[in-house]
């Protein structure tokens, strides 16, 4: 199934684009998506805390994705 992946901050730099379509197996949970991203882009393994919003709502690792979901990668934010 295809999901719309949107990335911000360091995540955008890692995947080298702010938005892309990603093909994943069905069913696919947020936890599985994290594994896929870490295998495809090793730099994700260095990020301590990463959140995901699905269709504008934050979700946990057990949440199951559906075809066409908008998945936003929200990396840790530093400021000062």
pLDDT in tens, 5-26: 999 999 999 999 999 999 999 9
Beta partners for residue 71, in sequence order:
5, 54
Q: What string of pLDDT tens digits covers the 80 residues of the chain?
A: 999 999 999 999 999 999 999 999 999 999 999 999 999 999 999 887 899 999 999 999 999 999 999 999 998 876 55
Give the whole-angstrom CA distance, residue 40 versus residue 58: 23
Domain boundaries, the chain: 2-74
**6 phi/psi in degrees, rounded to 5:** -120, 130
Q: What is the CATH number of domain 2-74?
A: 3.10.20.30
Residue with tokens 């934010």: 77
**18 phi/psi in degrees, rounded to 5:** -80, -20
In three-state secondary structure terms, 68 is coil
Nearest by Cα to 73 from 20, 2, 23, 28: 20
């Amino acid at each position: 199934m295809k999901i719309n992946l949107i990335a911000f901050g360091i995540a955008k730099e890692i995947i080298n684009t702010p938005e892309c379509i990603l093909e994943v197996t069905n069913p696919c949970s947020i936890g599985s998506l994290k594994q896929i991203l870490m295998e495809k882009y090793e730099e994700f393994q260095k990020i301590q805390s990463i959140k995901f919003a699905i269709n504008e709502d934050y979700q946990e690792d057990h949440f199951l994705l559906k075809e066409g979901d908008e998945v936003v990668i929200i990396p840790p934010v530093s400021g000062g």
